[in-house]
Amino acid sequence: MLQRLQTLFLCGILFLTTALFFVEIWEQTNLNPGPEAPLKTTETGTLSLNSLTIIKAGEGQTQLNHSTFLLQVIAGVSILLTIVIIFLYKNRLLQIRMVNLLNLLLAGLLTALIFEIQFAEKQLSGTIINKSYEIGTFLPAISIILGFFANKYIRKDEKLVRSMDRIR
């Protein structure tokens, strides 16, 4: 049934995973002292689901763009899988297995995000001025928690249906 509580949790996962495409995940600014004392350059790294961008500003501005295609694929598959799970309400046992698969996929997305952040940090040098983990870093973790809650309520519905079958 589409009006059940687990559907709200699944819609939350759908919303949060879709929001990953529109928010930043990580940002860091470093300060590099130049060869002469007054000359300093800054490096700024920004990671979103669409790209990793590192800008080295100073005398000459250089820019590094790194593809995050794997992150996009995992997030896209998670979105499609969530939509499929929402409409599997008639087959609760399959829905439980699919939610477990979705949680594994979201854990993989979170792991890939962590590795991508570490890669980006290695590309920057100098003294860290500002480092911030944006909201996009935490969205997969929140989605995993919502997945566990959805699974709990799907199991609860399955137990209720089985108890009604015993009464008949």
At 3, the pLDDT band (50, 70, 90 cuts) reads: confident
At 66, the pLDDT band (50, 70, 90 cuts) reads: confident
Residue 133 has pLDDT above 80, yes or no: yes
SS3 at position 156: helix
Topology given in CATH for the domain delimited by 5-160: Butyryl-CoA Dehydrogenase, subunit A; domain 3 (1.20.140)
Mean pLDDT of 41-48: 86
* Between 62 and 97, residue with greater pLDDT: 97
pLDDT of residue 1: 55
**Lowest-confidence pick of 62-76, 77-91, 144-158:** 62-76
Here the contacts of 67-71 (C-beta below 8 Å, separation 24 or greater) are: 68/116, 70/112, 71/109, 71/112, 71/113, 71/116
**Angstrom distance (rounded) from CA 10 to CA 49:** 21
SS3 at position 61: coil
**Angstrom distance (rounded) from CA 28 to CA 167:** 61
